[in-house]
Structure 1
Amino acid sequence: MLKIGLTGGIGSGKSEVSRLLVECGAVLVDADRVAREVVAPGTPGLAAIVDAFGAEVLAADGSLDRPRLGSIVFADPDKRAVLNAIVHPLVGARSRELEAAAPEDAVVVHDVPLLAENGLESLYDVVIVVDVAPETQLDRLVRLRGMTEADARARMAAQATREKRREIADIVIDNDVPLEELRRRVREVWAELSERASAP
Protein backbone atom coordinates (compact mmCIF):
# COMPACT_ATOMS: atom_id res chain seq x y z
CA MET A 1 0.00 0.00 0.00
CA LEU A 2 1.27 3.45 -0.90
CA LYS A 3 0.09 6.22 1.45
CA ILE A 4 -0.25 9.63 -0.15
CA GLY A 5 -0.81 12.88 1.75
CA LEU A 6 -2.60 15.36 -0.53
CA THR A 7 -2.80 18.96 0.61
CA GLY A 8 -3.11 22.53 -0.64
CA GLY A 9 -4.37 25.88 0.58
CA ILE A 10 -8.05 26.70 0.74
CA GLY A 11 -9.32 27.34 -2.79
CA SER A 12 -6.37 25.53 -4.42
CA GLY A 13 -8.61 22.97 -6.13
CA LYS A 14 -7.43 20.04 -4.01
CA SER A 15 -10.87 18.38 -4.20
CA GLU A 16 -10.68 18.43 -8.00
CA VAL A 17 -7.25 16.76 -7.88
CA SER A 18 -8.48 14.12 -5.43
CA ARG A 19 -11.50 13.46 -7.70
CA LEU A 20 -9.18 12.98 -10.69
CA LEU A 21 -6.94 10.63 -8.68
CA VAL A 22 -10.00 8.55 -7.72
CA GLU A 23 -10.91 8.40 -11.44
CA CYS A 24 -7.42 6.95 -12.02
CA GLY A 25 -8.01 4.28 -9.35
CA ALA A 26 -6.93 5.79 -6.01
CA VAL A 27 -8.71 4.99 -2.74
CA LEU A 28 -9.65 8.33 -1.16
CA VAL A 29 -9.72 9.09 2.56
CA ASP A 30 -11.15 12.62 2.74
CA ALA A 31 -10.25 14.26 6.06
CA ASP A 32 -13.01 16.90 5.66
CA ARG A 33 -15.65 14.24 5.10
CA VAL A 34 -14.32 12.20 8.03
CA ALA A 35 -14.26 15.38 10.16
CA ARG A 36 -17.99 15.89 9.44
CA GLU A 37 -18.71 12.24 10.22
CA VAL A 38 -17.00 12.31 13.66
CA VAL A 39 -19.05 15.36 14.78
CA ALA A 40 -22.43 14.23 13.40
CA PRO A 41 -25.42 14.43 15.77
CA GLY A 42 -25.22 11.79 18.50
CA THR A 43 -21.43 11.37 18.32
CA PRO A 44 -19.04 11.84 21.26
CA GLY A 45 -17.20 14.35 19.03
CA LEU A 46 -20.20 16.67 18.84
CA ALA A 47 -20.83 16.34 22.59
CA ALA A 48 -17.21 17.35 23.29
CA ILE A 49 -17.51 20.42 21.02
CA VAL A 50 -20.72 21.54 22.76
CA ASP A 51 -18.98 21.07 26.15
CA ALA A 52 -16.11 23.26 24.97
CA PHE A 53 -17.97 25.96 23.03
CA GLY A 54 -21.55 25.93 24.31
CA ALA A 55 -24.89 25.10 22.68
CA GLU A 56 -24.76 28.20 20.46
CA VAL A 57 -22.58 26.20 18.02
CA LEU A 58 -25.55 23.92 17.28
CA ALA A 59 -27.96 24.51 14.41
CA ALA A 60 -31.72 24.29 15.00
CA ASP A 61 -31.73 20.62 13.92
CA GLY A 62 -29.09 19.67 16.51
CA SER A 63 -26.25 19.38 13.98
CA LEU A 64 -23.04 21.39 14.21
CA ASP A 65 -23.37 24.94 12.88
CA ARG A 66 -20.03 24.92 11.08
CA PRO A 67 -20.05 28.57 9.91
CA ARG A 68 -20.84 29.71 13.47
CA LEU A 69 -18.08 27.54 14.95
CA GLY A 70 -15.73 28.67 12.16
CA SER A 71 -16.28 32.33 12.96
CA ILE A 72 -15.37 31.62 16.62
CA VAL A 73 -12.23 29.55 16.03
CA PHE A 74 -10.74 31.36 13.03
CA ALA A 75 -10.64 34.56 15.06
CA ASP A 76 -8.88 32.97 18.05
CA PRO A 77 -5.86 30.61 17.81
CA ASP A 78 -6.43 29.28 21.36
CA LYS A 79 -10.01 28.27 20.56
CA ARG A 80 -8.84 26.76 17.30
CA ALA A 81 -6.33 24.67 19.29
CA VAL A 82 -9.15 23.45 21.58
CA LEU A 83 -11.23 22.41 18.57
CA ASN A 84 -8.28 20.66 16.91
CA ALA A 85 -7.52 18.74 20.11
CA ILE A 86 -11.09 17.35 20.02
CA VAL A 87 -11.43 16.65 16.30
CA HIS A 88 -7.96 15.57 15.13
CA PRO A 89 -7.61 12.38 17.21
CA LEU A 90 -11.11 11.29 16.09
CA VAL A 91 -10.31 12.00 12.45
CA GLY A 92 -6.99 10.16 12.75
CA ALA A 93 -8.61 7.04 14.22
CA ARG A 94 -11.40 6.94 11.60
CA SER A 95 -8.93 7.57 8.75
CA ARG A 96 -6.79 4.64 9.89
CA GLU A 97 -9.89 2.41 9.88
CA LEU A 98 -10.72 3.45 6.30
CA GLU A 99 -7.13 2.94 5.20
CA ALA A 100 -7.02 -0.54 6.78
CA ALA A 101 -10.08 -1.51 4.70
CA ALA A 102 -8.29 -0.71 1.39
CA PRO A 103 -6.71 -3.49 -0.73
CA GLU A 104 -3.07 -4.28 0.01
CA ASP A 105 -1.80 -2.95 -3.35
CA ALA A 106 -3.89 0.23 -3.22
CA VAL A 107 -2.70 3.80 -3.63
CA VAL A 108 -4.48 5.43 -0.69
CA VAL A 109 -4.82 9.21 -1.00
CA HIS A 110 -5.42 11.05 2.26
CA ASP A 111 -6.91 14.46 1.43
CA VAL A 112 -5.65 16.49 4.42
CA PRO A 113 -6.25 20.26 4.34
CA LEU A 114 -3.99 21.04 7.34
CA LEU A 115 -1.18 18.59 6.62
CA ALA A 116 1.56 21.25 6.61
CA GLU A 117 0.09 23.16 9.57
CA ASN A 118 0.07 20.07 11.77
CA GLY A 119 3.46 18.69 10.67
CA LEU A 120 1.94 15.42 9.40
CA GLU A 121 4.18 14.89 6.37
CA SER A 122 6.12 12.02 8.01
CA LEU A 123 2.91 9.91 8.11
CA TYR A 124 2.91 9.52 4.31
CA ASP A 125 5.11 7.83 1.72
CA VAL A 126 4.54 10.72 -0.71
CA VAL A 127 3.25 14.26 -0.08
CA ILE A 128 1.48 15.96 -3.00
CA VAL A 129 0.83 19.70 -2.79
CA VAL A 130 -1.76 21.35 -5.04
CA ASP A 131 -0.35 24.81 -5.63
CA VAL A 132 -1.91 28.03 -6.89
CA ALA A 133 -1.04 31.71 -6.62
CA PRO A 134 -2.63 33.53 -3.64
CA GLU A 135 -4.55 35.77 -6.09
CA THR A 136 -6.15 32.64 -7.57
CA GLN A 137 -7.14 31.39 -4.11
CA LEU A 138 -8.69 34.74 -3.22
CA ASP A 139 -10.59 34.94 -6.51
CA ARG A 140 -11.99 31.41 -6.12
CA LEU A 141 -13.06 31.93 -2.50
CA VAL A 142 -14.87 35.18 -3.27
CA ARG A 143 -16.28 34.26 -6.69
CA LEU A 144 -17.06 30.56 -6.24
CA ARG A 145 -17.68 30.22 -2.50
CA GLY A 146 -19.29 33.59 -1.89
CA MET A 147 -16.92 34.63 0.92
CA THR A 148 -16.20 38.27 1.62
CA GLU A 149 -12.66 39.30 0.75
CA ALA A 150 -11.88 39.85 4.47
CA ASP A 151 -13.16 36.38 5.36
CA ALA A 152 -11.21 34.78 2.54
CA ARG A 153 -7.99 36.55 3.56
CA ALA A 154 -8.49 35.49 7.21
CA ARG A 155 -8.93 31.83 6.17
CA MET A 156 -5.83 32.02 3.99
CA ALA A 157 -3.79 33.69 6.75
CA ALA A 158 -4.81 30.95 9.23
CA GLN A 159 -3.15 28.33 7.00
CA ALA A 160 0.50 27.53 6.30
CA THR A 161 2.26 29.75 3.78
CA ARG A 162 2.60 28.64 0.18
CA GLU A 163 6.38 28.32 0.75
CA LYS A 164 5.90 26.06 3.80
CA ARG A 165 3.59 23.75 1.83
CA ARG A 166 6.00 23.57 -1.11
CA GLU A 167 8.87 22.76 1.28
CA ILE A 168 7.22 19.51 2.42
CA ALA A 169 6.10 18.46 -1.09
CA ASP A 170 7.50 15.42 -2.87
CA ILE A 171 5.28 16.30 -5.86
CA VAL A 172 3.77 19.71 -6.70
CA ILE A 173 0.71 19.92 -8.94
CA ASP A 174 0.22 23.42 -10.36
CA ASN A 175 -3.49 24.20 -10.53
CA ASP A 176 -3.24 27.64 -12.13
CA VAL A 177 -3.97 25.86 -15.42
CA PRO A 178 -7.01 24.85 -17.51
CA LEU A 179 -8.79 21.65 -16.42
CA GLU A 180 -7.47 19.64 -19.38
CA GLU A 181 -3.90 20.52 -18.45
CA LEU A 182 -4.60 19.60 -14.81
CA ARG A 183 -6.06 16.26 -15.89
CA ARG A 184 -2.94 15.51 -17.95
CA ARG A 185 -0.65 16.35 -15.01
CA VAL A 186 -2.68 14.18 -12.61
CA ARG A 187 -2.44 11.23 -15.02
CA GLU A 188 1.35 11.71 -15.11
CA VAL A 189 1.50 11.74 -11.32
CA TRP A 190 -0.75 8.67 -11.16
CA ALA A 191 1.60 6.73 -13.44
CA GLU A 192 4.49 7.56 -11.07
CA LEU A 193 2.49 6.58 -7.98
CA SER A 194 1.29 3.29 -9.52
CA GLU A 195 4.87 2.41 -10.38
CA ARG A 196 5.97 3.06 -6.79
CA ALA A 197 3.01 1.10 -5.37
CA SER A 198 3.84 -1.98 -7.43
CA ALA A 199 7.61 -1.86 -6.79
CA PRO A 200 8.73 -4.77 -4.60
Structure 2
Amino acid sequence: MVIGLTGGIGSGKTTVAKLFHNFNTVAVYIADVEAKKLMNSSDIIRKKLIEAFGEKTYQKHQLNRPFLASIVFNNKEKLHILNSIVHPEVKKHFQKFIENNTNKAYIVYESAILFESNSQHQFDFVISVFVDLEERIRRVLDRDNSTRQEVLSRINSQWKEDKKLLLSNYVINNYALQETESSVKKIHNILTKKAATFS
Protein backbone atom coordinates (compact mmCIF):
# COMPACT_ATOMS: atom_id res chain seq x y z
CA MET A 1 0.00 0.00 0.00
CA VAL A 2 1.40 3.37 -1.02
CA ILE A 3 0.34 6.64 0.61
CA GLY A 4 0.86 10.12 -0.83
CA LEU A 5 1.76 12.83 1.70
CA THR A 6 1.64 16.48 0.70
CA GLY A 7 1.16 20.02 1.96
CA GLY A 8 1.93 23.55 0.90
CA ILE A 9 5.22 25.29 1.60
CA GLY A 10 5.55 25.98 5.35
CA SER A 11 2.86 23.46 6.34
CA GLY A 12 5.36 21.17 8.05
CA LYS A 13 4.93 18.08 5.88
CA THR A 14 8.59 17.13 6.48
CA THR A 15 7.90 17.04 10.24
CA VAL A 16 4.89 14.79 9.59
CA ALA A 17 6.98 12.56 7.27
CA LYS A 18 9.54 12.15 10.10
CA LEU A 19 6.74 11.12 12.50
CA PHE A 20 5.64 8.40 10.06
CA HIS A 21 9.28 7.35 9.70
CA ASN A 22 9.37 6.63 13.46
CA PHE A 23 7.12 3.60 12.94
CA ASN A 24 9.29 0.61 12.05
CA THR A 25 6.51 -0.82 9.85
CA VAL A 26 6.57 2.25 7.56
CA ALA A 27 9.06 3.26 4.83
CA VAL A 28 9.19 6.96 3.90
CA TYR A 29 10.39 8.36 0.57
CA ILE A 30 11.05 12.13 0.44
CA ALA A 31 10.73 12.93 -3.28
CA ASP A 32 12.51 16.30 -3.14
CA VAL A 33 15.55 14.91 -1.28
CA GLU A 34 15.83 11.92 -3.64
CA ALA A 35 15.41 14.16 -6.71
CA LYS A 36 18.31 16.35 -5.53
CA LYS A 37 20.50 13.26 -5.03
CA LEU A 38 19.56 11.89 -8.46
CA MET A 39 20.38 15.18 -10.17
CA ASN A 40 23.97 14.65 -9.01
CA SER A 41 24.21 10.87 -9.42
CA SER A 42 22.17 10.01 -12.54
CA ASP A 43 24.05 10.12 -15.85
CA ILE A 44 20.72 10.22 -17.72
CA ILE A 45 19.58 13.35 -15.86
CA ARG A 46 23.02 14.98 -16.19
CA LYS A 47 23.13 14.44 -19.97
CA LYS A 48 19.58 15.73 -20.54
CA LEU A 49 20.01 18.79 -18.29
CA ILE A 50 23.22 19.81 -20.07
CA GLU A 51 21.45 19.37 -23.43
CA ALA A 52 18.52 21.50 -22.23
CA PHE A 53 20.29 24.21 -20.22
CA GLY A 54 23.96 24.18 -21.27
CA GLU A 55 27.36 23.14 -19.90
CA LYS A 56 27.12 25.54 -16.94
CA THR A 57 24.40 23.32 -15.43
CA TYR A 58 27.17 21.28 -13.77
CA GLN A 59 30.39 22.48 -12.18
CA LYS A 60 33.01 19.94 -11.06
CA HIS A 61 30.48 17.12 -11.56
CA GLN A 62 28.03 18.78 -9.17
CA LEU A 63 24.72 20.38 -10.12
CA ASN A 64 25.05 24.17 -10.34
CA ARG A 65 21.86 24.93 -8.39
CA PRO A 66 22.00 28.76 -8.46
CA PHE A 67 22.50 28.68 -12.25
CA LEU A 68 19.61 26.28 -12.83
CA ALA A 69 17.35 28.14 -10.38
CA SER A 70 17.99 31.42 -12.19
CA ILE A 71 16.79 29.83 -15.44
CA VAL A 72 13.64 28.06 -14.20
CA PHE A 73 12.55 30.62 -11.59
CA ASN A 74 9.54 32.53 -12.97
CA ASN A 75 9.76 30.62 -16.26
CA LYS A 76 7.04 27.94 -16.41
CA GLU A 77 8.21 26.56 -19.72
CA LYS A 78 11.78 25.98 -18.50
CA LEU A 79 10.49 24.57 -15.20
CA HIS A 80 8.32 22.14 -17.16
CA ILE A 81 11.41 21.01 -19.12
CA LEU A 82 13.33 20.49 -15.87
CA ASN A 83 10.47 18.49 -14.33
CA SER A 84 10.01 16.38 -17.47
CA ILE A 85 13.69 15.36 -17.20
CA VAL A 86 13.84 14.72 -13.45
CA HIS A 87 10.39 13.28 -12.62
CA PRO A 88 10.57 10.11 -14.77
CA GLU A 89 13.88 9.16 -13.12
CA VAL A 90 12.47 9.83 -9.64
CA LYS A 91 9.50 7.62 -10.56
CA LYS A 92 11.83 4.77 -11.58
CA HIS A 93 13.87 5.24 -8.41
CA PHE A 94 10.70 5.13 -6.30
CA GLN A 95 9.58 1.88 -7.96
CA LYS A 96 12.86 0.30 -6.80
CA PHE A 97 12.23 1.74 -3.31
CA ILE A 98 8.81 0.01 -3.26
CA GLU A 99 10.38 -3.30 -4.35
CA ASN A 100 12.98 -2.99 -1.57
CA ASN A 101 10.35 -2.34 1.11
CA THR A 102 7.74 -5.03 0.50
CA ASN A 103 8.14 -6.11 4.13
CA LYS A 104 6.62 -2.82 5.39
CA ALA A 105 2.92 -2.35 6.18
CA TYR A 106 2.82 0.65 3.86
CA ILE A 107 5.03 3.23 2.14
CA VAL A 108 4.72 7.02 2.41
CA TYR A 109 5.73 9.17 -0.58
CA GLU A 110 6.19 12.81 0.48
CA SER A 111 6.00 15.46 -2.23
CA ALA A 112 5.16 19.19 -2.19
CA ILE A 113 3.70 19.01 -5.70
CA LEU A 114 1.67 15.81 -5.48
CA PHE A 115 -1.49 17.40 -6.92
CA GLU A 116 0.31 19.94 -9.11
CA SER A 117 2.12 17.09 -10.91
CA ASN A 118 -1.17 15.15 -11.16
CA SER A 119 0.36 12.22 -9.22
CA GLN A 120 -2.46 11.75 -6.71
CA HIS A 121 -4.00 8.90 -8.74
CA GLN A 122 -0.91 6.75 -8.17
CA PHE A 123 -1.61 6.40 -4.44
CA ASP A 124 -4.04 4.29 -2.45
CA PHE A 125 -4.67 7.18 -0.06
CA VAL A 126 -3.56 10.81 0.17
CA ILE A 127 -2.76 12.74 3.35
CA SER A 128 -2.59 16.56 3.33
CA VAL A 129 -0.87 18.62 6.01
CA PHE A 130 -2.70 21.87 6.68
CA VAL A 131 -1.76 25.19 8.30
CA ASP A 132 -3.40 28.55 7.61
CA LEU A 133 -1.74 31.02 5.23
CA GLU A 134 -0.31 33.48 7.77
CA GLU A 135 1.23 30.71 9.84
CA ARG A 136 2.84 29.20 6.72
CA ILE A 137 4.30 32.59 5.73
CA ARG A 138 5.64 33.11 9.26
CA ARG A 139 7.30 29.67 9.33
CA VAL A 140 9.00 30.14 5.95
CA LEU A 141 10.22 33.64 6.89
CA ASP A 142 11.63 32.19 10.14
CA ARG A 143 13.56 29.44 8.39
CA ASP A 144 15.07 31.19 5.37
CA ASN A 145 15.96 34.63 4.05
CA SER A 146 12.94 35.06 1.78
CA THR A 147 10.83 38.20 1.67
CA ARG A 148 7.08 37.99 2.30
CA GLN A 149 6.51 38.63 -1.42
CA GLU A 150 8.83 35.76 -2.43
CA VAL A 151 7.03 33.39 -0.03
CA LEU A 152 3.62 34.45 -1.39
CA SER A 153 4.87 33.94 -4.94
CA ARG A 154 5.93 30.37 -4.08
CA ILE A 155 2.61 29.71 -2.33
CA ASN A 156 0.67 31.04 -5.31
CA SER A 157 2.51 28.67 -7.65
CA GLN A 158 0.98 25.74 -5.74
CA TRP A 159 -2.64 24.62 -5.67
CA LYS A 160 -5.05 26.38 -3.30
CA GLU A 161 -5.38 24.54 0.01
CA ASP A 162 -9.15 23.97 -0.13
CA LYS A 163 -8.77 22.20 -3.47
CA LYS A 164 -6.11 19.86 -2.02
CA LEU A 165 -8.10 19.14 1.12
CA LEU A 166 -11.21 18.15 -0.84
CA LEU A 167 -9.17 15.58 -2.77
CA SER A 168 -7.39 14.16 0.31
CA ASN A 169 -8.44 11.10 2.31
CA TYR A 170 -6.91 12.42 5.54
CA VAL A 171 -6.00 15.92 6.75
CA ILE A 172 -3.51 16.72 9.52
CA ASN A 173 -3.81 20.17 11.12
CA ASN A 174 -0.20 20.87 12.02
CA TYR A 175 -0.19 23.62 14.66
CA ALA A 176 0.91 21.94 17.91
CA LEU A 177 3.39 19.05 17.77
CA GLN A 178 1.53 16.99 20.38
CA GLU A 179 -1.73 17.17 18.41
CA THR A 180 0.11 16.39 15.17
CA GLU A 181 1.74 13.34 16.78
CA SER A 182 -1.69 12.18 17.95
CA SER A 183 -3.17 12.63 14.44
CA VAL A 184 -0.29 10.73 12.83
CA LYS A 185 -0.70 7.88 15.33
CA LYS A 186 -4.45 7.68 14.62
CA ILE A 187 -3.94 7.67 10.84
CA HIS A 188 -1.11 5.13 11.19
CA ASN A 189 -3.41 2.75 13.10
CA ILE A 190 -6.13 3.11 10.44
CA LEU A 191 -3.66 2.58 7.57
CA THR A 192 -2.06 -0.44 9.30
CA LYS A 193 -5.48 -2.09 9.55
CA LYS A 194 -6.26 -1.25 5.92
CA ALA A 195 -2.86 -2.60 4.82
CA ALA A 196 -3.59 -5.93 6.51
CA THR A 197 -6.63 -6.42 4.26
CA PHE A 198 -4.99 -4.90 1.17
CA SER A 199 -4.02 -7.19 -1.66
The normalised TM-score by structure 2 is: 0.91
Work out the CA distance in 1 between the residues paired with 2:159 and 2:172. Answer: 17
| Structure 1 residues 185-200: aligned runs within 5 Å | 185-199=183-197
- Deviation track 1:111-143 (CA, whole Å, cap 9, x = no partner) reads 122111011111111100011111111111111
Aligned length: 197
Deviation at 1:51, TM superposition (A): 1.7
Work out the CA distance in 2 between the residues paired with 1:107 and 1:11. Answer: 26
Deviation at 1:88, TM superposition (A): 0.8
- Deviation track 1:135-166 (CA, whole Å, cap 9, x = no partner) reads 11111111112222222122111111112211
Work out the CA distance in 1 between the residues paired with 2:2 and 2:123. Answer: 5
Unpaired stretches in structure 1, ≥5 consecutive residues: none
| Structure 1 residues 1-200: aligned runs within 5 Å | 2-25=1-24, 26-41=26-41, 43-58=43-58, 60-175=59-174, 177-199=175-197
Residues 40 and 61, structure 2, Cα contact 8 Å, conserved in 1: no
Look up the equivalent residue of 1:90 and give its one-letter code: E
Residues 30 and 109, structure 2, Cα contact 8 Å, conserved in 1: yes
Unpaired stretches in structure 2, ≥5 consecutive residues: none
Residues 74 and 155, structure 1, Cα contact 8 Å, conserved in 2: no
Q: Secondary structure at the match of 2:80?
A: helix
User: Could you say what the CA RMSD is over the residues aligned between the two structures, in angstroms?
Assistant: 1.7
The normalised TM-score by structure 1 is: 0.91
Work out the CA distance in 2 between the residues paired with 1:121 and 1:99. Answer: 17
